[in-house]
Amino acid sequence: MNRTGLLICLAIAAAVGIVFALYPELDVTLSSYFYAGGHRWHVLDWPSGIVREAVSWIVTLVAAPAFIALAVKWVLPRRPLLMPGRAIVLMISTLALGPGLMVNIILKDNWGRPRPQFLTEFGGPAPLLPWWDPRGKCDKNCSFVAGEPSGAFWTMAGAAVAPPHWRAAAYGAAIVFGSAVGVLRMSAGGHFFTDVVFSGVVVFLVIWLVHGLLYRWRATRLTDADIERALERLAMPGYDALIRPSYDAVVRIAQRLRGTAPRG
């Protein structure tokens, strides 16, 4: 998550954005390769429902360590975190802000671009709108930007906190994963090429900004120890009120069952 990555991302966004703004019919041309006629689409040669379910599981598995580490710290505040504190904050916050807030709430529900399957070119009622035009008649869960590919591209957050010697390969795998999910959605008439590209751009920018706040920029940079202490302070009141009394009660019951309870 350095300046070079940001420049590459912005260059891709600018190139794709300008070309497809000038020639929006290119989106239709690319989608047409997946159109079978008669409202049918050439979903690629696998059971698409199973693949989409697998995609959700992969994203969940990438996110799971951060949520598990946070949950364990919440229940056992004095236990050291199972993974670095900044990695936990980066992964959870970018998942919420990127695919969650920016993509599925702000853009998809307010950018009225119709999906390819609803275009007049493919037998539907809606005219083509270029990627930059939000004035379509779609009210909710619209085409721009692509939701499932954004979740797949989010796995770049896991790559950002991977060990340095694995980082380049992890970034490559995340980009390939997101692109493959994007092709799957295009093949079903669910999204345009630009929807997929800008889903990756949006998610990358969110990760880049949060990574900078946590790791790179001196004014806001935190340490893993800072986050661990903050989590411990937040969790201790709940632990003292709920967890510790429950634990003590279980210990007393176990002692009685073993006949070793202290006499009053």
The answer to whether residue 264 scores a pLDDT higher than 50 is no
For residue 223, the tally of other CB atoms under 10 A from its CB is: 13
Residue 70 lies in a domain: yes
Residue 7 lies in a domain: yes
Torsion angle in degrees (nearest 10) through CA of 15, 27, 208, 63: -160
What's the mean pLDDT in 97-111? Answer: 96
In terms of pLDDT, which residue wins out, 11 or 49?
11
Residue 217 lies in a domain: yes
pLDDT for 105 equals: 95
The Cα-based distances of 257 to 49, 96, 248, 261 in angstroms read: 51, 46, 14, 8
Residue 180 lies in a domain: yes
Predicted confidence band of residue 247 (pLDDT cuts 50, 70, 90): low
The answer to whether residue 259 scores a pLDDT higher than 90 is no
pLDDT for 262 equals: 52
The answer to whether residue 17 scores a pLDDT higher than 70 is yes
> Could you tell me which of 52, 63, 54 has the C-alpha nearest to residue 87?
63
DSSP state of 79: S
The answer to whether residue 249 scores a pLDDT higher than 80 is no
Predicted confidence band of residue 253 (pLDDT cuts 50, 70, 90): confident
pLDDT for 66 equals: 97
Model confidence pTM above 0.95:
no
3-state per-residue secondary structure call for 84-126: CHHHHHHHHHHHHHHHHHHHHHHHCCCCCCCCHHHEHHHCCCE
What's the mean pLDDT in 244-251? Answer: 71
Predicted confidence band of residue 6 (pLDDT cuts 50, 70, 90): very high
Residue 120 lies in a domain: no
pLDDT for 46 equals: 56
Share of the chain above pLDDT 90, in %: 77
The Cα-based distances of 34 to 39, 71, 169 in angstroms read: 11, 43, 30
Query: Alpha-carbon distance 92 to 51, whole Å?
Result: 24
pLDDT for 63 equals: 97
Task: Give the mean pLDDT of the chain.
Answer: 91
In terms of pLDDT, which residue wins out, 2 or 194?
194
In terms of pLDDT, which residue wins out, 180 or 37?
180
Residue 24 lies in a domain: no
The string of pLDDT tens digits covering residues 41-73 is: 877 655 667 788 899 999 999 999 999 999 999
Query: Alpha-carbon distance 199 to 113, whole Å?
Result: 14
- Number of domains within the chain: 1
What's the mean pLDDT in 71-90? Answer: 95
What domain range is 203 assigned to? Answer: 3-16+43-108+145-246
Residue 139 lies in a domain: no
The answer to whether residue 134 scores a pLDDT higher than 80 is yes
pLDDT for 225 equals: 95
Residue 260 lies in a domain: no
> Could you tell me which of 30, 32, 34 has the C-alpha nearest to residue 43?
34
